[in-house]
């Protein structure tokens, strides 16, 4: 690589201190870090709600909580995890930090808009917390008519989610323009890291889909406040219309969740196999294909809601197609691993876990996409297991992989590998015990035990991060000997990212050669 | 809306970036209004007779007046942006000022219309047609109001001498937004007022 | 950015006049009962007006392919949500 690795002053972008240097920062790295801290906190809180659910499910007789409280817990678990953690974590957290670095830029296209996106996010979560005065019991999907009538603070929550959505849109908008306009000289589209292809596809979805859910919640608020009757059958409205609007966003948003994680996997696998990524073009285009096809299938959440038979048939038919570009990625990752020089550092452990668990989750998709089986499986734990395998076994493992991979770059410290691997083992075992049992409707007790192991693993991982922050060994600029541009910057990078904007002359996946 | 000016050594890149940013934002607006247009279509297909009867209660003339008002306001924006491209800041301010006045006139007409409806006991909750009417024109009205704020900000920038023939990005970008607001109304007007 | 040919103010005013005329036409046509064709004509005229605004006021005419992409792609998604929903609601 023609670009020289830089050495920093040890603290880089973290040098300036004081709350104002964070609250009013225009540095994408600081904004990304703020998103990461926030989303991880919400992940842990959402996790606590999950553990409370599992506690109640220990026995059919267990009545630690009233029915209403249980409904509140699963609504809060779902809503917090989806809106406050999994949608923003990789795109707005790791994405904000690394998109400019990956393309050789000093920052995103609109740094002030970026800061605004965080403050809108913060306003959103404050409003959502405010809605806890009368917490939601509607389920995270907020279906009408119940959500229009529930005594919960649905209107307040609607505003909160609207704000979170706005934040998501601003992030996506920023990345689209950044990736188009701010690539370093020589960084052609086909020299972009695959993380960027994933982020690009993600940004398209964020920009196109999120406004629809924004209006949906606006209409829900209007129903409650103004008596508007779009979704109310007694006024000539249609509750299924709510579902159309809701899922027009909420299906594509699962690809907002998974595409960045897949991007991270595409970065990690070649580095720890010391082999070029197999099928770069296919992986790049498959991200766009997944984003596009993801918009065509939203009705598959509504097969039992009373849609027309033709709509059912079309949505079911289209649903199967999304497996194709997804499988393309999986096959290419496996081909990358084949005959590679594989090592099992913690980022790689999580990346491999992603592939394995996402395959399981993905394979259970067709059962749900097929009309006949969907009728049996809708609203059962099979669905819960499917989306936890894809969202947690997929996105969250990808997120953990990214955190471990990029921890040295973001903080300038190395993590304790032994503890990281021990935590991984607990997470892997705990996850599978918790969720595999749901596919086969086995004992809730086993699932609850699994959740305790999973929680222990996650807590150990978090403790390891905190220890690393405080006492980790100083990290070199490129501890993994990787070839993407962020590793040319210091660990942690200076505020300006690079002393000189790099001129790119090579593809960043030339591993396994004497140079790398 | 301007980027990190140290970032874009090349002002042309900064301008193109801003333009792409605004078009991306307009894309989100297409989908925002789009969901409401979807609801309109669904219910129109379902209740053609009710729509025909109810839409007649809207004043076509007032709707047409508002259409003319918005189209004229868009012309003012075009003239204003053209002015600053020729370095004429005062003319920009006059044109954008006229736009804001026309926008205010639009909102006044809407106020008159809404008041008349309320006076006759017609509210958003009255029936599906009026739910759609109030939500669509209400959301559009909010965008008109926000646009007035945006255009005012551009006038302030100009009065502070920050705009010139070399740098007019805020004017052009606000213009794009304003034309979009006009564009939405161009569809709202026939859909709500004209089609029986 | 520059309009290579012609006076942009003149183009703007010409488009303005066209928009006014089309508005008059669409209002007048709405007083004539053409049945289902009222909707078609009204939407067609609206689309012509919208195109004029987009092409001339918003300068799409003369923009590069990237900007055109950003302008047109959302419309495709709009069509998707409308038709996808109608496939259900109209055929139950």
Q: What is the mean pLDDT of residues A223-247?
A: 94
State what percent of residues in chain A have pLDDT above 70: 98
Q: Assess whether C42 and C72 both reside in one domain.
A: no
**What is the per-residue pLDDT for B1?**
34
Cross-strand pairs, A413: A474
Q: Are A96 and A31 in contact (CB under 8 A)?
A: yes
**Number of CB pairs, chain A paired with chain C, less than 8 A apart:** 41
DSSP state for residue B155 in the 8-state scheme: H
Q: Assess whether C71 and C50 both reside in one domain.
A: no
Largest Cα–Cα separation, chain C: 55
Q: Are B194 and B43 in contact (CB under 8 A)?
A: no
Domain membership of residue B181 (yes or no) is: yes
Q: For A225, what's the count of Cα atoms within 13 Å in the CB-facing half-sphere?
A: 13
B24 contacts C20? CB cut-off 8 A: no
Q: Are A303 and A373 in contact (CB under 8 A)?
A: no
Binned at pLDDT 50, 70 and 90, residue A44 comes out as: very high
**What is the per-residue pLDDT for B6?**
41
Give the whole-angstrom CA distance, residue A33 versus residue A403.
Answer: 11
**Domain carrying residue A264:** 28-488
A248 contacts B17? CB cut-off 8 A: no
Residue numbers in A near C88 (CB within 8 A): 240, 244, 299, 302, 307-308, 311
Residue B178, CA distances (Å) to A25, B15, B35, B76, B157 in order: 30, 18, 20, 10, 17
In the stretch 10-69 of chain C, residues with CB closer than 8 A to chain A read: 66
Of C73, C80, C88, the CB nearest to A308: C88
Number of separate domains in chain A? 1
DSSP state for residue A92 in the 8-state scheme: I
State what percent of residues in chain C have pLDDT above 70: 93
- pLDDT top residue among A310 and B7: A310
Number of separate domains in chain B? 1
Which residues does C86 contact at the CB level (< 8 Å), separation at least 6?
A: B41, B42, B45
Domain membership of residue B100 (yes or no) is: yes
pLDDT digits (tens, 9 = 90+) for B87-145: 999 999 999 999 999 999 999 999 999 999 999 999 999 999 999 999 999 999 999 99
Q: Assess whether C47 and C6 both reside in one domain.
A: yes
Domain membership of residue A225 (yes or no) is: yes
Q: Assess whether C50 and C11 both reside in one domain.
A: yes
**What is the per-residue pLDDT for C5?**
52
Q: Which of A56-65, A156-165, A425-434 has the lowest mean pLDDT?
A: A56-65
Domain membership of residue B157 (yes or no) is: yes
pLDDT digits (tens, 9 = 90+) for A260-296: 999 999 999 999 999 999 999 999 999 999 999 999 9
Domain membership of residue B114 (yes or no) is: yes
**Domain carrying residue B118:** 33-194
Residue numbers in B near C39 (CB within 8 A): 195
Give the whole-angstrom CA distance, residue A37 versus residue A60.
Answer: 37
A310 contacts C91? CB cut-off 8 A: yes
Q: Assess whether C53 and C73 both reside in one domain.
A: no
Q: Assess whether C7 and C45 both reside in one domain.
A: yes
Tokens read off for C10: 């003149």
Binned at pLDDT 50, 70 and 90, residue C8 comes out as: confident
Residue numbers in B near A238 (CB within 8 A): 42, 46
Q: What is the mean pLDDT of residues B49-53?
A: 94
pLDDT digits (tens, 9 = 90+) for C44-73: 999 999 999 999 999 999 999 999 999 999
Q: What is the mean pLDDT of residues A15-37?
A: 96
Domain membership of residue B3 (yes or no) is: no
Number of separate domains in chain C? 2
Q: Give φ, ψ of A513 to 5 degrees.
A: -100, 170
**What is the per-residue pLDDT for B9?**
65
Q: Are C55 and C3 in contact (CB under 8 A)?
A: no
**Mean pLDDT value across chain B:** 94
Q: Assess whether C29 and C11 both reside in one domain.
A: yes
Q: Which residue is listed with tokens 């669905």?
A: A383
Which residues does A36 contact at the CB level (< 8 Å), separation at least 6?
A: A89, A93, A94, A97, A403
Of B16, B21, B34, the CB nearest to A173: B21
For residue A441, is pLDDT > 90?
A: no
For residue C15, is pLDDT > 50?
A: yes
**What is the per-residue pLDDT for A95?**
98
Nearest to A56 by CA among A42, A74, A43, A78: A74
Q: Assess whether C12 and C42 both reside in one domain.
A: yes
pLDDT digits (tens, 9 = 90+) for A484-508: 999 999 999 999 999 999 999 999 9
Domain membership of residue B77 (yes or no) is: yes
Domain membership of residue A36 (yes or no) is: yes
pLDDT digits (tens, 9 = 90+) for A191-218: 999 999 999 999 999 999 999 999 999 9
**What is the per-residue pLDDT for B3?**
36
**What is the per-residue pLDDT for A454?**
97
Q: Are A290 and A261 in contact (CB under 8 A)?
A: no
pLDDT digits (tens, 9 = 90+) for A305-331: 999 999 999 999 999 999 999 999 999
**What is the per-residue pLDDT for A515?**
66
Domain membership of residue B8 (yes or no) is: no
What CATH number did the domain enclosing B63 receive? Answer: 1.20.120.80
Domain membership of residue A9 (yes or no) is: no
**Mean pLDDT value across chain A:** 94
**What is the per-residue pLDDT for C3?**
47
Give the whole-angstrom CA distance, residue A245 versus residue A217.
Answer: 10
**Domain carrying residue C83:** 64-92
């Amino acid at each position: 690589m023609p670009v020289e690795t830089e050495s920093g002053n040890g603290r880089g972008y973290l040098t300036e201190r004081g709350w104002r240097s964070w609250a009013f920062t225009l540095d994408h790295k600081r904004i990304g870090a703020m998103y990461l801290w926030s989303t991880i906190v919400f992940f842990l809180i959402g996790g606590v709600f999950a553990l409370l659910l599992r506690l109640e499910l220990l026995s059919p007789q267990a009545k630690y909580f009233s029915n209403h409280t249980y409904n509140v817990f699963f609504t809060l678990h779902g809503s917090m995890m989806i809106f406050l953690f999994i949608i923003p974590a990789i795109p707005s957290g790791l994405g904000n930090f690394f998109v400019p670095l990956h393309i050789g830029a000093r920052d995103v296209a609109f740094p002030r808009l970026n800061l605004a996106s965080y403050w809108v996010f913060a306003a959103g979560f404050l409003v959502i917390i405010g809605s806890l005065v009368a917490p939601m019991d509607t389920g995270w999907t907020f279906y009408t008519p119940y959500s229009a009538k529930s005594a919960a603070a649905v209107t307040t929550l609607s505003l909160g989610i609207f704000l979170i959505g706005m934040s998501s849109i601003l992030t996506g908008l920023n990345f689209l323009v950044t990736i188009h306009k701010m690539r370093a000289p020589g960084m052609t589209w086909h020299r972009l890291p695959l993380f960027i292809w994933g982020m690009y596809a993600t940004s398209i979805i964020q920009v196109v889909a999120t406004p629809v859910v924004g209006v949906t919640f606006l209409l829900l608020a209007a129903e409650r406040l103004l008596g508007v009757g779009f979704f109310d059958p007694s006024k000539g409205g249609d509750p299924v219309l709510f579902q159309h609007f809701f899922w027009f966003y909420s299906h594509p948003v699962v690809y907002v969740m998974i595409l960045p994680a897949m991007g991270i996997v595409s970065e990690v696998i070649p580095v720890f196999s010391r082999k070029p990524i197999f099928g770069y073009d296919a992986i790049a285009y498959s991200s766009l294909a997944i984003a596009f096809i993801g918009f065509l299938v939203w009705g598959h959440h509504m097969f039992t809601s009373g849609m027309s038979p033709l709509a059912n048939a079309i949505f079911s038919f289209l649903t199967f197609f999304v497996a194709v570009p997804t499988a393309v990625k999986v096959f290419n990752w496996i081909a990358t691993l084949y005959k590679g020089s594989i090592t099992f550092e913690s980022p790689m452990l999580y990346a491999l876990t992603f592939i394995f668990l996402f395959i399981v989750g993905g394979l259970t998709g067709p059962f749900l996409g097929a009309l006949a089986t969907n009728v049996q499986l809708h609203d059962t734990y099979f669905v819960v297991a499917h989306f936890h395998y894809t969202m947690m076994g997929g996105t969250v493992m990808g997120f953990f992989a990214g955190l471990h991979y990029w921890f040295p770059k973001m903080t300038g410290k190395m993590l304790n590998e032994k503890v990281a691997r021990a935590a991984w083992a607990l997470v892997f075992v705990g996850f599978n015990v918790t969720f595999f049992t749901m596919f086969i409707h086995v004992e809730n007790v086993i699932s609850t035990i699994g959740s305790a192991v999973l929680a222990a693993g996650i807590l150990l991982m978090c403790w390891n991060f905190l220890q690393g922050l405080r006492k980790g060994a100083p990290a070199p600029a490129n501890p993994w000997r990787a070839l993407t541009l962020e590793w040319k910057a210091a660990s942690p990078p200076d505020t300006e990212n690079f002393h000189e904007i790099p001129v790119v002359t090579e593809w960043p996946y030339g591993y396994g050669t004497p140079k790398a | 809306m301007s980027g990190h000016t140290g970032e874009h050594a090349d002002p042309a890149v900064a301008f193109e970036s801003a333009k792409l940013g605004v078009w991306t934002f307009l894309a989100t607006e297409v989908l925002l209004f789009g969901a409401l247009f979807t609801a309109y279509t669904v219910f129109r297909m379902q209740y053609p007779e009710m729509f025909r009867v109810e839409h007649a209660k809207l004043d076509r003339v007032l709707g047409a007046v508002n259409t003319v008002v918005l189209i004229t306001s868009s012309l003012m924006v075009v003239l204003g942006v053209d002015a600053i491209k020729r370095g004429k800041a005062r003319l920009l301010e006059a044109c954008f000022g006229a736009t804001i006045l026309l926008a205010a006139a639009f909102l006044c007409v809407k106020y008159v219309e809404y008041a008349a409806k309320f006076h006759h006991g017609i509210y958003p909750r009255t029936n599906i047609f009026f739910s759609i009417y109030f939500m669509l024109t209400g959301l559009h009205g909010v965008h008109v109001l926000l646009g007035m704020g945006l255009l005012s900000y551009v006038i302030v920038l100009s009065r502070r001498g920050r705009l010139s023939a070399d740098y007019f990005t805020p004017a052009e970008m606000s213009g794009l937004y304003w034309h979009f607001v006009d564009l939405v109304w161009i569809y709202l007007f026939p859909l709500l007022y004209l089609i029986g | 950015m520059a309009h290579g040919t012609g006076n942009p103010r003149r183009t703007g005013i010409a488009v303005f006049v066209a928009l006014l005329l089309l508005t008059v036409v669409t209002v007048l046509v709405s007083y004539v009962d053409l049945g289902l064709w009222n909707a078609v004509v009204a939407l067609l005229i609206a689309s012509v007006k919208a195109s004029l605004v987009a092409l001339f006021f918003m300068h799409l005419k003369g923009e590069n392919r990237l900007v055109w992409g950003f302008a047109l792609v959302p419309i495709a998604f709009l069509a998707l949500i409308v038709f996808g929903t109608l496939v259900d609601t109209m055929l139950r």
